Structure 1
């Protein structure tokens, strides 16, 4: 029981840090003139390097085992580009185009996308609980994007575009590395993919371009996004999986959009209509519906 409680708290803190870092990133983009592309490359290179450093201290030469199998190396490269870089870049572009609340909620559509993709891939009609989740997510997205009005968008079109791409990236981020993590562990896979993604994005926007001004508050917030919201967030969440099931961790993941939404409203003057709030709750609730369906199946 004690280890289970520890796992829950680790997951809560880790996922909340993700949500808070999104709100802090929005503040950096809106009020501190930090370039979004610079933030993406700095975050990935620094956090990826630090995670690999921790991995080297824990695993030594085994950190490089993943490169000895050519098939796994190519899979890691695909995950780095389409999963890790895909979700990290599109998420920050969604924040830049709109706000962290909308970006995080739209990214949270990824479990619904996984249901749809797996149903098509396996050629199996989704379970009733899966169908309910898809309907809830679709209605929720409509309410978040339009506030219930068919002829208008309540958020910028580019924010919707990047937010939906972020959900696709999060879906690939969830699906692609499953076998790699089982074989090599989470830290090598996350560390290498983040570093590789950062190196690739550095070709588009070198880290030495658009460096923020040397102001303590600006760099303190940047350090929080990189260290607190990325490094600690990932490590705490991964550590929680030793004590709780992935299903429980998935439910707790709802802390990310909730914390991002609450902080955006309180500190960044983001206004959410009642329809958008209902839509947000519908999207987040899909995780609880899935957890209920999984628990029900397990008890049969």
Structure 2
């Protein structure tokens, strides 16, 4: 029986609402992070370390109440699972948050969020280049649309120069690549262990990894009250609330439905950036962003419907 037919309309609506709320929350977090990233007093390594450590502790605390106690340390019973978890922590979680921070710091949260949204396209490209996946028509269409959208986004229609520094574009693409790793690396773990546990332990180890380079207790930066509120908001909104909402939504709705709500995140960040962060946006940039979102949505929708 089709996955969607197993669920009642009421249940599907509940799942859709949870997934939509999660995407909006991630979008809000992206806008808030611009306040943090633009604060010269907040070093990237220190921020990522604090963010991941606190988020990891909170998620593991939640896991104590929702996951059977015998499963709490189950990941570490296998060396293979432990190594995958460490790879996820460093190359997925830590790398994604670090590149996202610099993409915002050197550019802006709106562009960084849309470039991060390209992660499914990077997964598709890797599948074609390294695993010899057959190139489908939807792959070509999605990639072509995304390329057009990104060009419009970073040039704002003036093809003679970039609207943001090239360094911001590079960090933004890095964000998309690391977001792809964030999705792909833990898939085997999540099929065997609770998603909250995998992410909680991953966050904790990512925080520990950061402390090797920038111990948060050594010469801590002098952060303003506004900066502290921004840090707290990013941790709670992005790493705790949005994540838990998305995990919960998977119990009530289908992957195809969730893929629809993913598109809300970059637009939430864009709208909030314009309204509250004095971000000046033009029509060409909006069109570029829409094209990117449509490209990724088409790919996500196709993948969700073929699983």
Same fold (TM over 0.5): yes
Residues 118 and 296, structure 2, Cα contact 8 Å, conserved in 1? no
CA distance in 1, matches of 2:294, 2:61: 37
Q: Flag the 1:297–1:213 CA change in 2: closer, same or farther, 3 A.
A: closer
Match of 2:45 among 37, 44, 47: 37
Does residue 157 of structure 1 match 2:169?
Answer: no
Gaps of 5+ in 1: none
Pairwise CA distance, 1:270: 1.2
Match of 1:2 among 10, 13, 16: 10
Pairwise CA distance, 1:143: 1.1
Match of 1:187 among 196, 217, 227: 196
Residues 49 and 207, structure 2, Cα contact 8 Å, conserved in 1? yes
- Residue matched to 2:271: 262
- Residue matched to 2:21: 13
Residues 145 and 153, structure 1, Cα contact 8 Å, conserved in 2? yes
Aligned length: 297
CA distance in 1, matches of 2:231, 2:94: 19
Q: Flag the 1:214–1:265 CA change in 2: closer, same or farther, 3 A.
A: closer
CA distance in 1, matches of 2:44, 2:128: 36
CA distance in 2, matches of 1:105, 1:206: 31
Residues 35 and 210, structure 1, Cα contact 8 Å, conserved in 2? no
- Residue matched to 1:143: 152
Does residue 210 of structure 1 match 2:187?
Answer: no
Gaps of 5+ in 2: 1-8
Pairwise CA distance, 1:33: 4.3
Secondary structure, aligned partner of 2:73: helix
Q: When the two structures are superposed, what TM-score results if normalisation uses the length of structure 2?
A: 0.91
Match of 1:224 among 230, 233, 238: 233
CA distance in 1, matches of 2:221, 2:298: 44
Q: When the two structures are superposed, what TM-score results if normalisation uses the length of structure 1?
A: 0.93
Match of 2:75 among 47, 57, 66: 66
Pairwise CA distance, 1:294: 4.5
CA distance in 1, matches of 2:76, 2:206: 16
CA distance in 2, matches of 1:33, 1:17: 26
CA distance in 1, matches of 2:94, 2:304: 33
Residues 105 and 280, structure 1, Cα contact 8 Å, conserved in 2? yes
Secondary structure, aligned partner of 2:196: helix
Residues 146 and 296, structure 2, Cα contact 8 Å, conserved in 1? no
Match of 2:56 among 45, 48, 65: 48
Residues 94 and 160, structure 1, Cα contact 8 Å, conserved in 2? yes
Q: Flag the 1:193–1:273 CA change in 2: closer, same or farther, 3 A.
A: same
Residues 35 and 212, structure 1, Cα contact 8 Å, conserved in 2? no
Pairwise CA distance, 1:250: 2.2
Pairwise CA distance, 1:156: 1.3
